[in-house]
Structure 1
């Protein structure tokens, strides 16, 4: 299968921001924006996941609606919303990174994730492949920063941590490498938005 990734230039600095985005919200926007600035990125690709294997399909939501909500939120000239995970039929982040291997040598890619995801990274499928493939930028999330910094992934890759004040160096670091990036905390939650929508519908 021939993938149709977003256009990019050789050697550019690109953040990959994956998620279900059910729905996408301003908190996601701020994570992507903060990563863009702190990591000095050229682009942030929003990868809308077809199905999160750690979630019940009923929680993931219909793909076209999630893609549309993400495009509505990711309004920035350096943000690109892509269905590349759907193109490759990927169900996990490790699968996605395998599918992207032909692209990886052409630019400097970094995986953007919230501290909540990093705290539970050890539960992801083939999780050890992920930090071995790309540097990880871990953005602060309410209630999860301490858990992330003391969690299994942080412990396993303790020697690979890049100091926060050297965050731009993460993008060109050889994996494994990760950096915790503090940011103003946002209260938005996709789960809370879905609960509110269900309550308003009853």
Structure 2
């Protein structure tokens, strides 16, 4: 486990509940902001961190440069309880399970909640050490357009059906012993990073401000 300088790490006080929202954010967009604001409120989290990854092991094509993606994310997501961090690059981790192990090592006494989209739950059983993730921290799954059915009939959802917490009880998820997960339906915004890249909106060059299309 690498030893990292404390000033390079996001800060979270002892006892804090912290949502972890991972992804390539290539590019970050208003859909990510929308999910973040609803997750903070529905889960009653103290903080939420965007974990901007160096790259996605499940995708063949590499993303835009990490620095550009982090800069754009910070310009777009401005909230006193949200931190944007490239901590995976600092930790040298490639898979989510390894990142979570490292965060738990560096941040004992904090309550982490993994936050992911419904599309991720549909393919969660293909993630490295996915059962360990499910059994190590609570998970909040956020519904996106057209993905509810596939997510709720997925291998992971069926295997851990007894660990599901009702959406109306979402605030208790942060303190629930794993395995525990919640499926949250929020007002939907059908926008994606893939769509923005296909339209040529994002080239990873001008990270100082979000595009006007958003």
TM-score (norm 2): 0.89
Q: Give the conservation status (yes or no) of the 8 Å contact 1:50–1:63.
A: yes
Runs of 5+ in structure 1 lacking a partner?
none
Shift of 1:123: 1.2
Q: Which of 99, 102, 106 is matched with 1:99 structurally? A: 102
1:68 partnered with 2:66: no
Shift of 1:69: 1.5
Runs of 5+ in structure 2 lacking a partner?
204-214
Please give the per-residue CA displacement for 1:144-191, whole angstroms capped at 9, x wherever unaligned.
Answer: 111111111100111100111100111000011000011001111100
Take 1:25 and 1:179, find their aligned partners in 2: how far apart are those partners?
24
Q: Give the conservation status (yes or no) of the 8 Å contact 1:162–1:170.
A: yes
Other structure's SS at 1:188 match = coil
Aligned equivalent of 1:2: 3
TM-score (norm 1): 0.94
Take 1:151 and 1:105, find their aligned partners in 2: how far apart are those partners?
32
Aligned equivalent of 1:53: 57
Other structure's SS at 2:140 match = strand
Please give the per-residue CA displacement for 1:113-148, whole angstroms capped at 9, x wherever unaligned.
Answer: 111111111111121111111100001111111111
Take 1:105 and 1:199, find their aligned partners in 2: how far apart are those partners?
37
Aligned equivalent of 1:13: 17
Spell out structure 1 runs of 4+ moving beyond 6 A. none
Kindly tell me: are residues 11 and 55 of structure 1, through their superposed partners in 2, closer, same or farther at Cα, counting changes over 3 Å? same
Aligned equivalent of 1:175: 178
Please give the per-residue CA displacement for 1:29-84, whole angstroms capped at 9, x wherever unaligned.
Answer: 111111000000110011001110001233x2221111112112211111100111
Aligned equivalent of 1:38: 42
Q: Give the conservation status (yes or no) of the 8 Å contact 2:196–2:202.
A: no
Q: Give the conservation status (yes or no) of the 8 Å contact 1:50–1:90.
A: no
Q: Which of 14, 17, 30 is matched with 1:26 structurally? A: 30
Take 1:191 and 1:171, find their aligned partners in 2: how far apart are those partners?
30
Take 2:146 and 2:107, find their aligned partners in 1: how far apart are those partners?
33
Take 1:50 and 1:70, find their aligned partners in 2: how far apart are those partners?
14
Give the CA RMSD over aligned residues.
Answer: 1.6
Kindly tell me: are residues 156 and 9 of structure 1, through their superposed partners in 2, closer, same or farther at Cα, counting changes over 3 Å? same
